[in-house]
Amino acid sequence: DQQVKQNSPSLSVQEGRISILNCDYTNSMFDYFLWYKKYPAEGPTFLISISSIKDKNEDGRFTVFLNKSAKHLSLHIVPSQPGDSAVYFCAASALNYGGSQGNLIFGKGTKLSVKP
Q: Which parts of this chain interact with other proteins (CB under 8 A)? A: 9, 32, 34, 36, 41-46, 49, 51, 89, 93, 95-96, 98, 100, 102-104, 106-109
Question: Would you call 60 exposed, middle or buried from its count of C-beta atoms within 10 A (0-12, 13-18, 19+)?
Answer: exposed
Closer to other proteins at the Cβ: 43 or 83?
43
Q: Shortest gap between Cβ of 50 and other proteins (angstroms)?
A: 10
Q: Shortest gap between Cβ of 43 and other proteins (angstroms)?
A: 3
Closer to other proteins at the Cβ: 43 or 116?
43
The length of the chain, given as a count of residues: 116
18 touches 114 (CB < 8 A): no
Torsion of CA 96, 98, 100, 101, to 10 degrees: -20
Closer to other proteins at the Cβ: 57 or 74?
57
Q: Any idea what DSSP says for residue 61?
A: T
Closer to other proteins at the Cβ: 42 or 69?
42
